[in-house]
Structure 1
Amino acid sequence: MQDPNADTEWNDILRKKGILPPKETPKDEEAEEEDVLQQQSVVKTYENMTLEELEENEDDFNEEDEHAIELYRRQRMAQWQATQVKNKFGELGEISGQDYVKEVTEAGKGIWVILHLYKQGIPICTLINQHLAVLATKFKDVKFLKAISTTCIPNYPDKNLPTIFVYLDGNIQAQFIGPLVFGGMKLTKDELEWKLAESGAVKTDLEENPRKQIQDQLMTSIRTCIPTRKDSDSDDD
């Protein structure tokens, strides 16, 4: 006799006609699916509890609870570890030349490093360090560093300061050299953030270049100050 659960074209026709009952689901698959649903249900029950609260109440748990809670504990630990990796840095660090290899070129795979070469007593260098310190707290997955220029590169000329190098996997991805690149002492934190975002180092939430807004405002001011042809003709009369 032919197996009514066999996957054959003839059996499919008989099932559609109602002659054969629907194909039975193997009990092992049903049990496995039900087990997964139960685990998810139990995990859902405890997902608003802290790990400490789970430990305090573990005497009241049965074997099923303990299995599901262990699964949940692993999920929470994985989430915590992912957060720790993402928020690994969060401050502007200071290095010297002897730290360069360890902190920059060997920073780690996939780690963006922003290095500011500066000197004390140069106002725009001080300004950029202030901006970078704030940006470091915003982009905690990026390694922000500063170093006195001549400790990293002997005899590095002051005329090239400030200098910012952007690294990924130990390789330079972008470089900004000299005060003119930064626009002088009028440089804002948002302008610097946009510049770093263009290099790929940070993922900014700014919608457009802040410098463009200033330029547009400047052009509007200039237009309002320039007399029109009609005004000029009236003055001549």
Structure 2
Amino acid sequence: MKLYERMNLKELKEAEDDFDEADMKAVEMYRQQRLQEWKRLQRRQKYGELREICGEQYVKEVTNAPKDVWVIIHLYRSSIPMCLLVNQHLGLLAKRFPEAKFVKAIVNSCIQNYHDRCLPTIFVYKTGQIKGRFIGVAECGGINLKVEELEWKLAEVGAIKTDLEENPKKDIMDMMTFSVQNISAHKDTNTKSSDVM
């Protein structure tokens, strides 16, 4: 590895006089590369919080967001405990995944007469299109929702890149599948037994 490959932009500027002409071309190329990386990082990390928007901002903030940005919007009502839990979890995820845009809006400011049974509602957008939706308590993960479970759901639709290796609810889902299979097998056995008699 060349010495300049370990330097940050400031160190490269200070060390310019120490390089010969051949190295200067490589240094300049490397500086441009580092500058582009820095700009990409700055662009990706410009969010980092769960912001409140109102209905008039929906198109600008969500539908017309930059094409390379995933937008997660939570429509909520503060009188619904599950909505407050989802807001809390989305606030944490917004800090962990600052490249995605996390926003929330009081449902009536966006959609009039929206039914409470459909809350919380999370829409996931990219390039102005809905790429994922979670409507109601069950689809959002249930009343005991953990932040990792919501992270997994958002990662499944592509909105964030998680380092979780498997669905946090995998054990519960495996147990439910096993129970359903056992019930089905038991019914099949009982049906076959009654057919014989």
Smaller-chain TM-score bracket: 0.7 to 0.9
TM-superposed CA distance for 1:218, in Å, is 8.0
Report SS of the residue matched to 2:124: strand
Equivalent of 1:125, from 54, 63, 83? 83
TM-score (normalised: structure 2): 0.79
Q: 1:60 to 1:194 in 2, by over 3 A?
A: closer
Q: 1 CA distance for matches of 2:25 and 2:92?
A: 44
1:73 aligns with 2:31: yes
| Aligned residue pairs, count | 178
Identity %: 56
Alignment correspondent of 1:171: 129
| Equivalent pair of 2:62/2:71 in contact (CA under 8 Å) | yes
Q: 2 CA distance for matches of 1:61 and 1:200?
A: 44
TM-score (normalised: structure 1): 0.67
Equivalent of 1:212, from 159, 170, 173? 170
Letter in 1 for 2:22: E
Give 1 or 2 for the bigger CA radius of gyration.
1
Q: 1 CA distance for matches of 2:26 and 2:177?
A: 64
Alignment correspondent of 1:52: 10
Q: 1 CA distance for matches of 2:156 and 2:13?
A: 47
Letter in 2 for 1:136: A
Q: What are the ranges of 5 or more consecutive residues in structure 1 without an aligned counterpart?
A: 1-40, 221-237
Q: 1:49 to 1:115 in 2, by over 3 A?
A: same
| Equivalent pair of 2:12/2:31 in contact (CA under 8 Å) | no
Q: Deviations over 1:77-121 (max 9, x none)?
A: 122122223333222111111111111111011321111001112
Q: 1:58 to 1:121 in 2, by over 3 A?
A: same
Alignment correspondent of 2:191: none
Q: 2 CA distance for matches of 1:215 and 1:66?
A: 59
Letter in 2 for 1:113: V
CA RMSD of aligned residues (A): 2.3
Letter in 2 for 1:180: A
Alignment correspondent of 2:195: none
Report SS of the residue matched to 1:202: coil
TM-superposed CA distance for 1:217, in Å, is 6.3
